[in-house]
Structure 1
Amino acid sequence: MHLGNARTALFSALFGDRFLLRIEDTDSERSRSEFVDELIADLRWMGLNWDEGPENAEPDERYFQSCRGAIYQRYYEELEQQGRAYFCFCSPRELEISRKIQLSSGQPPRYTGKCSHLTADEVSRKLDEGLRPTLRFRVPKNETVEFEDLVRGPQKFATDDIGDFIIRRADGSAAFFFCNAIDDALMGVTHVLRGEDHLANTPRQMLVLAALGLPIPQYAHISLIMGDDGAPLSKRNGSRSLKQLREEGYFPCALLNMLARLGHHYDCDDLMDFRTLKANFDLSRLGKSPARFDVAHLDHWQQLVVRSADDETLGGWLRKETAAIVPEEHLAAFIEIVRSNCVFPDQADRWARILFTDELQLDPDAAEAAAQAGESYFLSAIDAANAAQADFDMFLRELKTRTGAKGKALFMPLRAGLTGRLDGPELGAIYRLLDPHRLHRRLAEFTYESE
């Protein structure tokens, strides 16, 4: 799943009384069991628990469209008997040429109806020739399809602008908007929330359902998500799959809080759990303008989740190799450093290696700060550490007295020498967590630069 369909799933779960998961897998080339497994894993990771739907990738005729062909066939036959559907033998090339001619003439591209008047004998002859037809729905002429979109307001479509459309492909599989409409009716779906790119499908589905005497749900077409550059969201401008986000260490609660506010307004800017997000979700607060994704927005919520997480949660969030580095007796203190200074597991791993291993890389700015302080500063720091031992407050007083430094001149060289960086956790926490021998070695590294 990517951010767009994840948000659609979230909005459906936040709005509905019952949340349905249906596997729309009529396109065999794009549908594999491993994709279903990943989809289910993504939804469960987000905490979106469906009231109806499959539990795994095992085909189930109740929720897998690939298993419901006999159901769709029954409705195809009903439409054929009504004269509302007919075989179309036009090739893809013919349709493309017709489309280009219409566009060049300034007309909306739609099917010309070439096969709509074939006689039974003509159809039989083409079938005998081995041609494999699609099945088209016969759209009534000179009518208007109207409905109230729950986000976009009143909608009106002229049937003459729609054209007869395919409801069954040449390979016998059901077209998207046909099987979806049938399943919505049969599964008791009352509301459909989906992207506005599906808006043009809605009058088609309504025409099919009306022809079959099936109930029509209410529709809400939500705005699309754009990248921070204003272009449709893609890998190029920041989109990632949920699997990627999970592997990077994002918490699902951070993703939920970000997605719930993409095109939807909450009065409260606090971090909310799913129950609270649902209680305050309102379709009337969905905007019509495109929603813009900014990774900084997601990282803001991630930071809030990390800051509010308990020790057990953060401990489980750490990478296994990170947890293996941290001595058990220092785990609680290290997790407090993580909570205050890290947003992702790789940052926690970096601090674990700084504090509990001999791996230390000096950033250029840190190297400059250490060099400006000079050898005498670090000799004084070693003497202060010997005098103070584990008492950081005493160490700092000693260092200040011996060097006469204060402010940044006091703290920055020390931070550079102990961590190789000029930012990070409070210096007292670093001092107390560093092994005394490692602390002395790091300070001593800056006392022999003249040699």
Structure 2
Amino acid sequence: MTNKTVKTRFAPSPTGRMHLGNLRTALFNALLARSAGGAFLLRMEDTDQARSSEAHARALMADLRWMGLDWDEGPEAGGDAGPYAQSGRGEVYQRYYDQLVAADLAYPCYCTERELELSRKAQRASGKPPRYAGTCAHLTTEERARREAEGRKPTLRFRVPAEQTVTFQDLVRGEQRFPTEEIGDFIIRRADGTSAFFFCNAVDDALMGVTHVLRGEDHLTNTPRQLMLLEALGLPQPTYGHINLITGEDGAPLSKRNGSLSVEELREAGWLPGAVLNYLARLGHHYTGEVESQLLDLQGLADHFTTDALGRAPARFDRHQLTHWQQLAVHKADDPTLAPWLEQLPDNLSADQRRALLAAVRDNIAFPADLAAWGRRVFGELPEPEEATQDVIREAGPQFYAAALDELDTAGGDFSALAKAVRKATGAKGKGLFMPLRAALTGLCRGPELGPVFALMPAEVARRRLEQARELATANPS
């Protein structure tokens, strides 16, 4: 792999929002290009005109940019090999169809879907793998004319060479071998005139100078077909690597049902791009040494990316691991990155109060909703405390909270002063001092350092909560 020649690509179909599987494919290709000092290309495979839309294409590009996966060539970036949407490349494909037909390497097929299904059924019944039986492979001119007169619209099939073996070196899975007798002649142009995936995907990669392709293992059996096409057309062949698929925690392919999220949903929920990238870069790919657990920027991820570290076994999506990287990203994020989260806080808080609250609870939050919850805990009404929290309050007893109330005004917003005064009045210390105060003031037995939180809490809120704790301890003594 030479630095000057590496070009990878991401070629999505703009038929919906981008999900984690496609995002990881884009990321791996971007990392491979960056690791070699090469180029990352974006191409829209929009031949499915019924489902593709310009709106989806724009959304995909916005998602990539939000993730920081900018492309060097493609839509809105330019390049010498455009257009970069397959819907605008019909004339290009036609030239290569004509080349194959002229060389008798492709032929029209008039078989109906019903006829093809009956053929496959008969093959399965005889214990053979279903493949095209070659019914139209050697029709005469008259036979073709007769079928067209019947109104049949032909597909165009590639004539697979007989008794050969397609061999290639997969970047992830090593040497792969496919006997051509197990493949069968395959469709390269549909009856409606649109190009089939096998054809346009391979031709575009060659013409756009793509040298390396990382894609899902579900495309592995497509590769021998595409290599045969490119050889027949005299076009360069990229090096392919087929990465493992992502599964849910139930072991089934990742989907909405078992945990998949779109990039749009990730963004709206407050996930940070750096967290998602660091998790996905380790989902089916492993880093070693000191960077294994480090939050890296995109170039850092690329510098330590290698196809040798791509796994073959299914990669199981783990939301807890994703959340771990989110927590690291929040801790490392600068203020402008988290500034939009401040909008989740009550409108009556000043800008200084919002920033101070974020600083106070930053190490204990992972999402905007967490910050909003702390906004309510510090400035609003507490939710019903958990039973464990109530137990702590009961065990402390009403005298403990009476002492805290007596010292509240004197302490002002200084939690250390309050704790010192309560300790002197009650003899409580350590966990027996700080845990009851935390339970009463925040409704939790865990959380951020109390000093900065207490300093922000309005005096009347703190008093009300200590009074409520005293009432609870009085009504339900330990």
TM-score (norm 2): 0.89
Query: How far 1:337 moved relative to its partner?
Result: 2.4
SS at match of 2:205: helix
Pick closer, same or farther for the CA change 1:380–1:358 going to 2, 3 Å: same
Aligned residue number for residue 49 of structure 2:
28
User: For residue 277 of structure 1, what is the aligned residue in structure 2?
Assistant: 301
Q: Does 1:5 align with 2:22?
A: yes
After superposition, the C-alpha distances for 1:359-418 in whole angstroms (9 at most, x for unaligned) are 544333323332333332221110121232233222101112222333333223222221
Q: CA deviation at 1:325?
A: 4.9
| Alpha-carbon distance in 1 for matches of 2:400, 2:263 | 49
3-state DSSP of counterpart to 2:347: helix
Of 458, 461, 474, the residue aligned with 1:435 is: 458
Deviation at 1:356, TM superposition (A): 2.1
Q: 1:348 to 1:237 in 2, by over 3 A?
A: same
CA separation in 2, counterparts of 1:88 and 1:38? 38
* Alignment-derived partner of residue 352 in structure 1: 375
- Give me the whole-angstrom Cα distance separating, in 1, the residues matched to 2:201 and 2:279: 29
**1:388-403 equivalence runs, <5 A:** 388-403=411-426
Q: How far is 1:61 from its partner?
A: 5.8
Equivalent in the alignment of 2:314: 290
Q: 1:106-135: per-residue Cα shift (whole Å, max 9, x none)?
A: 221111111112111111122122211111
Does 2:145 align with 1:128? no
1:253-268, aligned counterparts within 5 Å? 253-267=274-288, 268=291
Q: Compute the displacement of 1:77 (Å).
A: 1.4
In the alignment, the residues of structure 2 paired with residue 54 and residue 241 of structure 1 have an alpha-carbon distance, to the nearest angstrom, of 22
User: Residue 28 of structure 1: SS of its match in structure 2?
Assistant: coil
Q: Give, in whole Å, the separation in 1 of the partners of 2:469 and 2:319.
A: 39
- Which residue of 1 is the match for residue 9 of structure 2? none
CA distance in 1, matches of 2:72, 2:46: 20
Flag the 1:437–1:11 CA change in 2: closer, same or farther, 3 A.
Answer: same
For residues 437 and 240 of structure 1, what CA distance do their matches in structure 2 show?
A: 42
Aligned position for 1:421: 444
Alignment of 1:197-236 (within 5 A): 197-236=218-257
Instruction: Give 1:348 deviation, angstroms.
Output: 0.5
Specify the code of the residue in structure 2 equivalent to 1:209: L
Q: Where in structure 2 are the equivalents of 1:190-201 lying within 5 Å? A: 190-201=211-222
Alignment of 1:42-61 (within 5 A): 42-55=63-76
Q: Greater CA deviation, 1-10 or 88-97?
A: 88-97
The aligned residue for residue 371 of structure 1 is 394
Residues 1:319 and 1:168: Cα distance change in structure 2 (over 3 Å)? farther
CA contact (8 A) 1:325 1:352 kept: no
Give the 3 Å change call, closer, same or farther, for CA 334–163 of structure 1 in structure 2. same
> Could you tell me which residue of structure 1 aligns to residue 362 of structure 2?
339
Q: Deviations over 1:45-87 (max 9, x none)?
A: 110110111139xxx9610101111111111111111111111
Report the residue type matching 1:94 in the other structure: E
Q: How many residues align?
A: 447
SS in structure 1 opposite 2:41? coil
Aligned to 1:144: 165
CA contact (8 A) 2:382 2:442 kept: no
Distance 2:206 2:184 in 1: 23
Please show how residues 92-111 of structure 1 align to structure 2 within 5 Å: 92-111=113-132
Determine the C-alpha separation between the residues in 2 that align with 1:296 and 1:205.
Answer: 39
Distance 1:28 1:198 in 2: 22
- The one-letter code matched in structure 2 to 1:53 is G
Relative to structure 2, which stretch is displaced further, 332-341 or 205-214? 332-341
What is the rounded CA distance, in whole Å, between the counterparts of 1:326 and 1:365 in structure 2? 31
CA distance in 2, matches of 1:240, 1:95: 37
- In structure 2, runs of 5+ residues without a counterpart are 1-17
Question: Could you say which residue in structure 1 is the equivalent of 2:345?
Answer: 322
Identical columns (%): 53
CA–CA separation in structure 2 for the residues paired with 1:181 and 1:368:
67
| 3-state secondary structure, aligned to 2:345 | helix
Structure 2: how far apart are the matches of 1:142 and 1:325? Answer: 78
Moved more, 193-202 or 330-339: 330-339
- Residue aligning to 2:13: none
- Match in the other structure for 1:406: 429
**Distance in 2 of aligned mates of 1:385 and 1:436:** 8
Counterpart contact for 2:27–2:69, Cα < 8 Å:
yes
Separation of aligned partners in 1, 2:348 and 2:376? 7
Task: State whether structure 2 residue 135 is matched by structure 1 residue 114.
Answer: yes
* Distance (whole Å) between structure 2 residues aligned to residue 427 and residue 284 of structure 1: 48
CA distance in 1, matches of 2:282, 2:381: 44
Distance 2:350 2:256 in 1: 39
Name which of structure 1's ranges 33-42 and 357-366 shifts more when overlaid on structure 2. Answer: 357-366
Q: Using the alignment, how far apart are the partners of 2:206 and 2:21 within structure 1?
A: 25
Whether the 8 Å contact between 1:21 and 1:54 is mirrored in structure 2 is yes
Question: How many Å separate the matches in 2 of 1:300 and 1:15?
Answer: 25
The offset of 1:429, in angstroms, is 2.0
Aligned-partner residue type, residue 272 of structure 1: L
Secondary structure in structure 1 of the residue aligned to 2:156: strand
- The CA distance in 2 between the partners of 1:243 and 1:423, in whole Å, is 32
